[in-house]
Structure 1
Amino acid sequence: MGRATIKSGTINLLNTIIGAGILAMPFGLKSNGIVFGCFLIIWSALTSSFGLYLQNKVAKYTQQQGAVSYFSLAQLTYPQLSIVFDSAISIKCFGVGVSYLVVIGDLMPKIMESINIPSESWFMERNLWITIFMIVLVIPLSYLKKLDSLKYTSVVALFSILYLICLVIEHYIVNDIPIENKHIDIIGPVSIKDTLKSFPIFVFAYTCHQNMFAIINELKPSDTDGSQTRQSNLIIRNALSTACFSYLLVGIIGYLSFGTTVNGNIITMYPKNSISSLIGRLCIVVMVAFSFPLQCHPCRGSINHVIHFITVGINTSKVRHPNQRDGYSSLQSDIESLNSISTESVQDESFISTTPMEGAQDTDGHDPIIVPLTSKRFYIITTFIVVLSYLVAITVKSLEHVLAFVGSTGSTSISFILPGLFGYLLIKPLNGATKLTKIELFSKYGGLVLSIWGVIVMVVCLSATLFLGATH
């Protein structure tokens, strides 16, 4: 069933984490001071990694590795709310994907300007560049059926991040950008208002949970790498620690370079006519172009779940298998919906399912909760996403506050509230045990704390967006 590895999973998860948010890390430290700002970066990494850890745990405890999704877990907890969960995920991922296209449209004319292209030239049109990148890169990559297929483009995107890090360090060491009255706040925080305004930067910088279940589903147990659970934990550790280190490095060095004059996009602080800065801006464009498919993948899966919910409905009657543990079972309607697909469609290799995978079974051979995704629906949904994203991107020039609002609700839901809630409700004693172990107790009640933290984060980020003008 699976074919991903620890390496490819780490690369894809890391590329999902590190996006344009790394450019705002120096500004985040400006608003909070070096010490307190670094604390917020590390704290956000820890809370985000715990959410990923709970996702991995729940996949194990419900025995749905290979077929786990937010939708399937919702059927075991609050089936009628599954459409709300998947709607939030799809809207959030769609909004972030559109923001990547907007970044391309904003940066490419500036890159053309830096190489002395006349202002009246067609190459200064933002919509032209959005169209070119959509046709050449975004659309072909968005039609790849498995997340693991994006590992090579993720490598290219991560090299772009590496170049940005080297650019920030090189300018700091050379000290070739004189800044007058440069002030550095070491301890922090600067003010409560500045902290609240910048808080969404740190929280949303680690949002990657929408792709965690897809990574778990595509992993393959092996004698050398171990179980899917062990591999997933290594992926989480590798990706989150690398992202946290990168954020700290760019944040600290960028802030030390410009002090309180730094803005929300560090790449714009460097000379326009510099070759290294030009390459840095191109790297950012390439990075966001290759990151769009990583948002399209979970968006497509969630839209498919919503369509399934609306057309088929939810049958809360459950099927109990002879060997199945108490508490977890498959839904009658989901298994029947698979059986209702024509034999020709099932035999056709083009019949696919991204999250979860078709034909997957849990560790005891039980049928998991599966939402079928035929090739026809795959192409229809994908086309709908890329076309609508393109139309929105060429129509709207600024999405900051919309993304901040969507991120405040969608990101906190999939990063903290849902993983914590699923962990609290679904982690139960294994192998006939009557009591939870210490690790199980920590995971279960830690999940409850994480959900409460998610609600707090949602309230704070929404308030900062609505009343303080914070952006995502």
Structure 2
Amino acid sequence: MEMQKLPNGSHHLNAAVPVQDGVPPEDQRFLQHKDDGSKRPQFTDFEGETSFGMSVFNLSNAIMGSGILGLSYAMSNTGILLFLALLTCIACLSCYSIHLLLRSAGVVGIRAYEQLGLRAFGQPGKIVAAIIITLHNIGAMSSYLFIVKSELPLVIQAFLGHTSSSDDWFMNGNYLIVIVTLCIILPLTLMKHLGYLGYTSGFSLSCMVFFLSAVIYKRFHIACPLEVFGNSSVNHTAVLEDSCAAKFFTINQETAYSIPILVFAFVCHPEVFPIYTELSNPTKRRMQTIGNVSILGMFTMYFFTAIFGYLTFYGNTEAELLHAYSQVDPLDTLILCVRLAVLVAVTLTVPVVLFPIRRALEQLLFPGKPFHWFRHVAIALCLLSAVNLLVVLVPNIRDIFAVTGATTAPSLIFILPGLFYIRIIPAEQEPMSSRPKIQAACFTALGFLFMTMSLTFIGLDWLTGERRSLGGH
């Protein structure tokens, strides 16, 4: 809601919520008990009932994405120590970003990313925030369904014992993503509350834990240098000696792409407020703890996945870790099960990612409207149809993901939280010369620096590729 109703019946938009009974506003509950009457729920007509554990599952599932498959490759291009330093810094910055969002939300009593944009910059801020969330999450959902499109036919092929691809309809990735969307994803997205997805999020995380366990197991069962399955033409004696040696610090042409991989791996900020809204006993400190626990858990999984994958393949680490295992033995039963687990995990993540897009569109197109099932279902159907159409019709949207990822990810993690904090926190409470606002300003500047760097490297890569292409004619 854009306006809040005061006890005397008047409305205000810009006034900050005062301290009540000596409790700072960021520690106060947003959803008061229904018999309190002091404040109406902002976005729902129910008291949040999602437990702490389920909220951790949902936020962890929002953090966990397909990027985990590329972390070993990132480590191979940075070295173990530099990777650990970068991973630690980005995890800490993500926690700080959540702190800025919750602090800003606590001052004005708003728990929606788009509404913070409205409070900070008016209607343009609300529109920009909604567009960024929509573009980023549509890109994320598309990447998940692209994994389903490419990997599910291979899993079915292996289970059926086929040695080569066939023209059967059930081996067509385009048909499979439509079936998966209708049978699994759509019913989950039609649930009224995000908290109900805590069970599927927990199962999704367990699939990724199985993936990590398999990576650790394979580290001790794959020798280096690799013996590529069924490829006797490979001259393994020509493998350089240092290709099987761990590097602790390295810089090469691909190092610049490792930082975006790590930053994208921690984007969960559009999901913070929907999870916060449905949290039981919602306070800033409780939600911040959920964010810290979720990020710490994913930090641990990311690091162990990266280091054990890297110590398996060393200099031969590929950008997609599962593909590297398939090069060794495509008929490996364990890796087949891991592929299936990853497919389940990304499929169950799509509904969690869709909820913030639907909320952003509702805040943008239907502000202040009460919940309505028709609108709830229609938005989900339109979004899933658009994403399926994108995945089916576009054979390679890597460049689109690169541009949107280089712009939306730093906007959601760095730029918008810092700007919201600077604009929303009253100057009389924290002047611009205060340390918290200086930190927020530096945080925002870091986001612009990262965006500029990423777009520059992407542009150079496109130009270099064009020159290579022209040179080939």
TM-score calculated relative to the size of structure 2: 0.79
Mean Cα deviation higher: 171-180 or 21-30: 171-180
Report the Cα offset of residue 444 of structure 1. Answer: 3.0
Report the Cα offset of residue 93 of structure 1. Answer: 0.8
Distance 1:256 1:380 in 2: 47
Report the Cα offset of residue 63 of structure 1. Answer: 2.5
1:187 aligned partner:
248
Report the Cα offset of residue 446 of structure 1. Answer: 2.0
2:198 aligned partner:
151
Report the Cα offset of residue 208 of structure 1. Answer: 0.4
Report the Cα offset of residue 436 of structure 1. Answer: 4.5
Report the Cα offset of residue 406 of structure 1. Answer: 0.8
Deviations, residues 153-203 of structure 1 (Å, cap 9, x unaligned):
101110111011000100112335752543335232322x32212221011
Pick one of 134, 139, 147 that aligns with 2:181: 134
Note the residue ranges of structure 2 that are not aligned, 5 or more in a row. Answer: 1-46, 227-235, 465-473
Distance 2:224 2:191 in 1: 43
Distance 2:95 2:321 in 1: 26
User: Identity of counterpart residues, as a percentage?
Assistant: 24
Q: Does the 8 A contact of 2:264 with 2:405 survive in 1? A: yes
Pick one of 432, 435, 454 that aligns with 2:447: 454
Report the Cα offset of residue 465 of structure 1. Answer: 2.1
Distance 2:179 2:381 in 1: 17
Q: Which amino acid aligns with 1:186?
A: K
Distance 2:223 2:441 in 1: 50
Q: Which amino acid aligns with 1:204?
A: F
1:391 aligned partner:
389
Pick one of 140, 144, 167 that aligns with 2:214: 167
**How many residues are matched?**
396
Mean Cα deviation higher: 129-138 or 117-126: 117-126
1:262 aligned partner:
317
Q: Does the 8 A contact of 1:197 with 1:465 survive in 2? A: no
Report the Cα offset of residue 405 of structure 1. Answer: 0.8
Report the Cα offset of residue 210 of structure 1. Answer: 0.6
Question: Relative to structure 1, is the Cα distance of residues 234 and 442 closer, same or farther in structure 2, using a 3 angstrom cutoff?
Answer: farther
Distance 2:286 2:206 in 1: 24
2:362 aligned partner:
304
Note the residue ranges of structure 1 that are not aligned, 5 or more in a row. Answer: 222-226, 309-333, 339-350, 353-373
1:69 aligned partner:
112
Pick one of 271, 274, 280 that aligns with 2:332: 274
Q: Which amino acid aligns with 2:114?
A: F
Question: 2:377 matched to 1:379?
Answer: yes
Q: Which amino acid aligns with 1:110?
A: L
Distance 2:415 2:278 in 1: 24
Distance 1:449 1:175 in 2: 45
Pick one of 263, 279, 286 that aligns with 1:231: 286
Question: Relative to structure 1, is the Cα distance of residues 394 and 380 closer, same or farther in structure 2, using a 3 angstrom cutoff?
Answer: same
Distance 2:140 2:224 in 1: 32
Q: Does the 8 A contact of 2:66 with 2:143 survive in 1? A: no
Report the Cα offset of residue 127 of structure 1. Answer: 1.3
Q: Which amino acid aligns with 1:119?
A: S
TM-score calculated relative to the size of structure 1: 0.79
2:259 aligned partner:
199
Deviations, residues 413-432 of structure 1 (Å, cap 9, x unaligned):
11111111111222248xxx
1:334-349 → structure 2 map (5 Å cutoff): none
1:53-64 → structure 2 map (5 Å cutoff): 53-64=99-110
Q: Does the 8 A contact of 2:430 with 2:437 survive in 1? A: no
1:345 aligned partner:
none
Q: Does the 8 A contact of 1:32 with 1:195 survive in 2? A: yes
Q: Which amino acid aligns with 2:265?
A: A
Q: Does the 8 A contact of 2:81 with 2:248 survive in 1? A: yes
Q: Does the 8 A contact of 2:223 with 2:312 survive in 1? A: no
**SS, match of residue 188 in structure 1:** coil
**SS, match of residue 174 in structure 1:** coil
Question: 2:131 matched to 1:87?
Answer: yes
1:46 aligned partner:
92
Report the Cα offset of residue 132 of structure 1. Answer: 2.0
Distance 1:109 1:449 in 2: 47
1:99 aligned partner:
143
Report the Cα offset of residue 101 of structure 1. Answer: 1.0
Distance 1:43 1:22 in 2: 17
Q: Does the 8 A contact of 1:197 with 1:468 survive in 2? A: no
Q: Which amino acid aligns with 2:315?
A: T
1:357 aligned partner:
none
2:272 aligned partner:
212
Distance 1:297 1:442 in 2: 35
Q: Which amino acid aligns with 1:142?
A: T
Q: Does the 8 A contact of 1:56 with 1:216 survive in 2? A: no
Report the Cα offset of residue 447 of structure 1. Answer: 1.7
Q: Which amino acid aligns with 1:88?
A: I
Q: Which amino acid aligns with 2:381?
A: T
Deviations, residues 20-56 of structure 1 (Å, cap 9, x unaligned):
1111010001111111112111111111111111111
Question: Relative to structure 1, is the Cα distance of residues 185 and 284 closer, same or farther in structure 2, using a 3 angstrom cutoff?
Answer: same
2:155 aligned partner:
111
